[in-house]
Structure 1
Amino acid sequence: MAPGLKRKTDEEAGRAAGYQLGWDHGYWYGLCEEAIGRIPQVNQVWPVHAMFVQTGKGFPYSPIDDAVRETLASLVQRLTVVNATQPVAELALTDRPDVVIVLDGLQFDVGQIAALKSNGIRTAIWLTDDPYYMDITTSIVPHYDTVFTLERNSVDFYKQLGCQNVHYLPFCFHPGQYRPANPDRSSRKEITFIGSAYLNRVSYFNELTPYLAGKDTLISGIWWDRLSKYDMLRSKIKLNHWMGPAETALTYNASQIVINMHRAHDDALYNSNRIGLTAVSPNPRTFEIAACAVLQVCDTRDDLASFFKPGVEIVTYSSPSELVEKMEYYLKHEDERKQIALRGMYRAFRDHTYANRLSAMLSILFPITPPSLPILNRPAEQNARLG
């Protein structure tokens, strides 16, 4: 064959392969969006005025602040937004909201809560980091009328402290931050992990290093130079790199498999949990990864199956060897991998959004079923923002 003919044949083959790859990715993205479009949306609006106290702590809490703020704005008739550094009690006494909802609250002066309660204003807190800072939260929660925690094991503990109204409200994801996408081919990886190198994770990844070194892997986060064989993975690690939601979501979407590994409840170096309360509930990443329609391989937690069905909507592991075995299997079985990812995404969008969780919160705070008000018809001036 003449050189010119062979070059033309190679170009045609490459063009055909690129077209097929683009078609496959576009079809997958369309399949995901079609599935999401079939899920009924939360459309109730509570005829109340809520004041939301953001953490004001900056990243990584700012995306949570944003998600709660944006979602609450669609669920209540009037929303006033402040942050923990402002004179919240003074502002609330002027504006008289039906409830003041505090997110996290670890750096919020409980004296302001006392001032609100003494003036007849209801208060609620949603704790975002249980059980890792129980030494701090145990002195905070008794001041609030209603306590919401993302950790199931915290509920009975707080009730034993004398808190009358404690509810399990696990975390979730915000569709405005995490959802299917179609990233550039150049950014795609086989295996991804995003997160800090806590000591329990370092122990795991020390055993995973030889396997991950032979894969198209990405690890992003702080402290990963602690690995005993760091040099084997150096080229695959974005060391001390913090990702916001947009970059994180794109990175998940570009991955065939994303590892999820919870931090340990008994990490004395980083936790403030001297009582040793164990953790059984899933972390926010569980929902964020699922929302991006990528196969999630997650360490087992006792309450995980309440949110995603193992082997059907999520894949679980309980040892480094099992993790390697399952990743290797699903890298070789694309159809199975995609079906689990698609089912996990559907479950996340159906059951585990901020709209789901905050609707549950409002139903507890205001148990009379509200009328369904058309969100788009609410006067814009009813949503005030301070700060």
Structure 2
Amino acid sequence: MAQISSIGTHRPSEEMEQGRQDGFRTGFEDGYRLGQCESIKQRTATTAPVWPVHALFVETGKGFPYSPLDQAVGQSLQSLVSKLTIVKGTDPVAEIAAAIRPDIVIVLDGLQFDVSHADAMRQAGIRTAIWMTDDPYYTEMSVGIVPHYDVVFTLEKNCVELYRSIGCPSVHYLPFCASPEQFQPVNTERGRRKDITFIGSAYYNRVRYFNAAASYLSARNTLISGIWWDRLDRFDLLKDRIKLDNWMDPQETGLCYNASKIVINMHRAHNDPEHNRNSFGVTAASPNPRTFEIAACAAFQLCDVRDDLAFFYKPDVEIATYSSPQELVEKLDYYLRHEEERREIALRGYWRTLREHTYASRLQTMLSILFPFGAF
């Protein structure tokens, strides 16, 4: 009797069946997350009024990593004012302003912008404003710059009184935020995914934390990316998890945030003796741009405590926080084991970001301050 072949009729192996189930579950979870994010995006969408003003926007012109800021501010202003002219800080700005007579000149950063242009524009009766992007880390330089402008905006709450004390009559707290076009929820390749991610430079306050957490981080699927990380005492333990001297653009950074179960956010210290020019000793209270950018990806973040952070996100509701190396490790371990709680916090942070912490929202606030009684 001829044997009957079993080829093509055997049942899938247990490994194949498990793989199918895992793939289905992962695909469902990814799709469910993106569906929730899309629902939030649609429900928070608003149409901003257009201000009938001509704004001249002076980009930093400093290249990366400032170019994404130039782009985000420029794109948002384009949709908020009836006419926008964009120039670089290296252009003959005062001559251009004298020729086109804008209603307002908005300078971003200004640390490398010749203040003689600001003086010339003010002498010509053209209003000027500056948005300081690196406060309070370079106050030795900024105190010589801000008095040359009619209106000063700073992303650091504690710099407001400093600038008022040196004679600036109009100083306003306007923290940074996120660009939903640059940072947004996306699906990511499985091979890119990490348990824990940190992106940023190895300032010494960060080195202290990562030295203390090295054993825990080395035992997890961890990514650390940035300059100076060979400063770590335990660099050899973590070196296969570190992309040393690696700079990421917003697209790559956003992909890393989306691919991570937990993103660590840690601010630089206001009193770093090597990398700051803050001899005025202004402490830092306000959240950094990464706080908003991580949240704009609907990614879960563990953020070190800052005095003003709770004004932007509710701790343990829209963001998770830590205040010591030990607490950082404890919360990393806790949230890696509590996926649903992690996801819900991230989604609430995403909602808050789209409602309140975008460049469109910040620039609406700026325009309201600049033109409190309407455009003219």
TM-score normalized by the length of structure 2: 0.96
Residue 255 of structure 1 is aligned with which of 243, 251, 260? 260
Match of 2:210 in 1: 205
Match of 1:230 in 2: 235
Q: After TM superposition, give the deviation of residue 89 of structure 1 in Å.
A: 0.2
Alignment of 1:124-143 (within 5 A): 124-143=129-148
Structure with the bigger RCO (C-alpha within 8 Å, sep 6+) is 1
Answer yes or no: is the 8 Å Cα contact 2:193–2:259 preserved in 1: yes
Q: After TM superposition, give the deviation of residue 73 of structure 1 in Å.
A: 0.3
Secondary structure of the corresponding residue to residue 139 of structure 1: coil
Answer yes or no: is the 8 Å Cα contact 1:44–1:370 preserved in 2: no
Q: Percent identity?
A: 60
Q: After TM superposition, give the deviation of residue 327 of structure 1 in Å.
A: 1.0
Alignment of 1:40-51 (within 5 A): 40-51=45-56
Alignment of 1:1-387 (within 5 A): 5=10, 7-369=12-374
Answer yes or no: is the 8 Å Cα contact 1:265–1:271 preserved in 2: yes
Letter in 2 for 1:110: V
Number of residue-to-residue matches in the alignment: 371
Secondary structure of the corresponding residue to residue 148 of structure 1: strand
Secondary structure of the corresponding residue to residue 105 of structure 1: coil
2:316, 2:144 → 1: CA distance? Answer: 40
Q: After TM superposition, give the deviation of residue 370 of structure 1 in Å.
A: 6.3
Unaligned runs of 5+ in 2: 1-5
- For 1:241-282, what per-residue CA distance to the aligned partner results, in whole angstroms no more than 9, with x for missing partners? 000000000100000000000000001201000111100000
Q: After TM superposition, give the deviation of residue 86 of structure 1 in Å.
A: 0.5
- For 1:325-373, what per-residue CA distance to the aligned partner results, in whole angstroms no more than 9, with x for missing partners? 11111110111111001001100111000001000000001113569xx
Q: After TM superposition, give the deviation of residue 36 of structure 1 in Å.
A: 1.5
1:161, 1:300 → 2: CA distance? Answer: 29
Answer yes or no: is the 8 Å Cα contact 2:53–2:375 preserved in 1: no
1:294, 1:118 → 2: CA distance? Answer: 48
Letter in 2 for 1:165: S
Q: After TM superposition, give the deviation of residue 185 of structure 1 in Å.
A: 1.1
Match of 1:374 in 2: none
1:87, 1:152 → 2: CA distance? Answer: 32
Q: After TM superposition, give the deviation of residue 30 of structure 1 in Å.
A: 1.0
Q: After TM superposition, give the deviation of residue 2 of structure 1 in Å.
A: 11
Answer yes or no: is the 8 Å Cα contact 1:201–1:261 preserved in 2: yes
Q: After TM superposition, give the deviation of residue 297 of structure 1 in Å.
A: 0.4
Q: After TM superposition, give the deviation of residue 4 of structure 1 in Å.
A: 8.2
Q: After TM superposition, give the deviation of residue 13 of structure 1 in Å.
A: 3.0
Letter in 2 for 1:364: I
Secondary structure of the corresponding residue to residue 294 of structure 1: coil
1:271, 1:13 → 2: CA distance? Answer: 53
2:265, 2:35 → 1: CA distance? Answer: 26
1:100, 1:231 → 2: CA distance? Answer: 50
> Is the deviation greater in 360-369 or in 131-140?
360-369
Q: After TM superposition, give the deviation of residue 9 of structure 1 in Å.
A: 4.3
1:369–1:91: structure 2 CA closer, same or farther, 3 Å change rule? closer
Q: After TM superposition, give the deviation of residue 27 of structure 1 in Å.
A: 1.2
1:107, 1:370 → 2: CA distance? Answer: 30
> Is the deviation greater in 15-24 or in 219-228?
15-24
Unaligned runs of 5+ in 1: 372-387
1:343, 1:370 → 2: CA distance? Answer: 35
1:179, 1:111 → 2: CA distance? Answer: 39
